[in-house]
Amino acid sequence: MNQLEKAQAEYKNFPQEFQSVIISTVNEQGIPNASYTPFVMDAAKNIYIYVSGLATHTQNLHANPHVSVLFIDDESKTEQIFARRRLSFDCTATLIERDTEAWNHIVEQFQGRFGELIEVLRGLPDFRIFQLTPSAGRFVVGFGTAYHIRGDQLDQLVHITRDK
């Protein structure tokens, strides 16, 4: 197995190693906010987040749908702090309309993954589901091993070299 094939296999399973994702949003004044939220992901790499309307990141998503997400290895699992494995996506957020077939399907996925707490959240009217649709990304495995991901081919890694 060559380096690209190995990275491709790691990339396919990497998001499944996490229960939450780090998100970066921006408010109307351009002030960034970093946060995190539990998530579920579909086969097309869309990321769904179930968030409180009172949270800063939710208010930011209503004002500006551009969001960056980051999956990153825990510091305790890395051999080199400067080269932690990480996957980032540039995404556009879309609110999923409450009590629709799509909304119910996603809530069921959250409940399957996170248990009974979702029943409680389901009854709270301020909780919202956003679909984060990736347009581009980057998967870094270590020093000199970074890969670009294009929105039209989210399953395909392209090795980043100095001349690209």
- Domain residue ranges of the chain, discontinuous segments joined by +: 3-159
More confident residue, 40 or 79: 40
List Cα–Cα distances, 162 to 6, 134, 135, 144, 147, in angstroms: 21, 24, 23, 9, 12
pLDDT digits (tens, 9 = 90+) for 132-155: 999 999 999 988 889 999 988 999
Pick the CATH number of 3-159 from 3.10.20.740, 2.120.10.30, 2.70.70.10, 2.30.110.10: 2.30.110.10
pLDDT digits (tens, 9 = 90+) for 109-118: 999 999 999 9
pLDDT digits (tens, 9 = 90+) for 92-111: 999 999 989 999 999 999 99
Residue type, 111: Q
Single pTM value for the model: 0.94
List Cα–Cα distances, 137 to 39, 77, 153, in angstroms: 17, 23, 10
